[in-house]
Amino acid sequence: MKKILRIGAHTSIAGGLPNALSRSEAIGANTLQIFAKSPRWRSIPPHTDEELQECLVQRKSTQQLWGLIHSNYLANLSKPFEDCKTDIASILDDFIIAQATGYEAVNIHIGKWKWFSTRDEAMKNMVKNVEYIISQNQKKNISVQFVFENTAGQWSELGSTIEELSYFHQNYLKGLPVKFCIDTCHAFAGGIDITDFDKVIDQFATHIGIDQLYCFHLNDSKAPLWARLDRHASLWKWFIGRPALSQVIKRAYENSRPLFIETPDNDIRPQEISQVKKIISGDESRIPSFHQKHFKTMTLKKFEEKGLF
């Protein structure tokens, strides 16, 4: 298999879906992730055929190698089907847009179980909703990959550990065409110590299967290990740090898995993309790392003041 560095970032669609592709090219990326609609609204805005066709033209001219659509943050497939119709409609719309515009996958957060007495109730609901979405896609000949993203485990989120992801996969998703995205921030805050990333990948391969790992969200974390808080941070600067994230980048490159940066500072995205490329080229020593005790100390103080520890 030819090694390909597929590196990009979550990219704005302001002004229309096609604009995201040129924005991605401008920051030095060759792949991208978008929201096809507002991440916090339930409405489904229309997209014209001309706009969708223009995406395909832009995709070719900007040579973007890979594309992922991230579903609405409000979507929660752990609810019973009758209570989940709006969520499902929004997700199905994302698949339709992805098929029409050449995006290869739709990424969805694993749901929450706070409304149920057991996690299995939530998982049973999720698999029924997933089966419905997949069946609807098959009827429309949509070949876009369904991807579930791991969580940080905050507010009863499911899928924050390898063990829970494995349980969900083995007992509910087995046989369904569903793969996983590993978010490094979520993983770390959820208790997966990616500072030894080779061990994490070995565990994933053993308990879930390496073929089920579709892509990565590449983020540092303002929250420490086991904090169960989803707090994305700029690369290399917080609790995870450059040595661990470098392991992720190299393994993604070796296996041609896409990397999507979702860090909070858009102004330094070109710099982050460039630094990821330097890591692959072996020029890592020139990347400054601010993963120091100062950040850890100040962050821990904030958590302690809020009574989170």
pLDDT greater than 70 at residue 24: yes
Instruction: Give the confidence band of 113 by pLDDT, cuts at 50, 70, 90.
Output: confident
pLDDT of residue 52: 95
pLDDT in tens, 225-260: 999 999 999 999 899 999 999 999 999 999 999 999
Strand partners, 218: 261
> What residues contact 255, with CB distance under 8 A and at least 6 apart?
1, 210, 213
Average of pLDDT values for 29-54? Answer: 90
pLDDT in tens, 62-81: 999 899 999 999 999 999 99
Average of pLDDT values for 6-24? Answer: 96
Average of pLDDT values for 272-280? Answer: 96
**Segment among 157-171, 199-213, 217-231, 291-305 with least mean pLDDT:** 291-305
Determine the residue type at 39: P
* The two three-digit tokens of residue 84, written as one number: 């989940």
pLDDT greater than 80 at residue 296: no
Helix (H) or strand (E) holding 33: strand 31-34
pLDDT of residue 293: 47
Exposure string for 192-225, b = 16+ CB within 10 A, e = fewer: bebbebeebbebbeeebeeebbbbbbbbbbbbbb
What does the mean pLDDT of the chain come to? Answer: 91
Exposure string for 50-72, b = 16+ CB within 10 A, e = fewer: eebebbeebbeebebbbbbbbbb
Q: Phi and psi (nearest 5°) for 200? A: -60, -45
**Segment among 124-128, 152-156, 211-215, 262-266 with least mean pLDDT:** 152-156
pLDDT of residue 178: 98
> What residues contact 118, with CB distance under 8 A and at least 6 apart?
none
Helix (H) or strand (E) holding 242: helix 241-254
Percent of the chain with pLDDT over 70: 93
pLDDT greater than 90 at residue 50: yes
Task: Compute CA distances 36 → 29, 45, 141, 167, 217, whole Å.
Answer: 19, 9, 20, 31, 18
Cβ neighbours, 10 Å, residue 175: 6
Q: How far apart are the first and last CA of the chain?
A: 46
pLDDT in tens, 135-145: 999 999 999 99
pLDDT in tens, 185-206: 999 999 999 999 999 999 999 9
Task: Tell me which of 194 and 38 has the higher pLDDT.
Answer: 194
Residue 96 half-sphere exposure toward CB, CA atoms < 13 A: 16
pTM of the entire predicted model: 0.92
pLDDT of residue 309: 40
pLDDT greater than 60 at residue 292: no
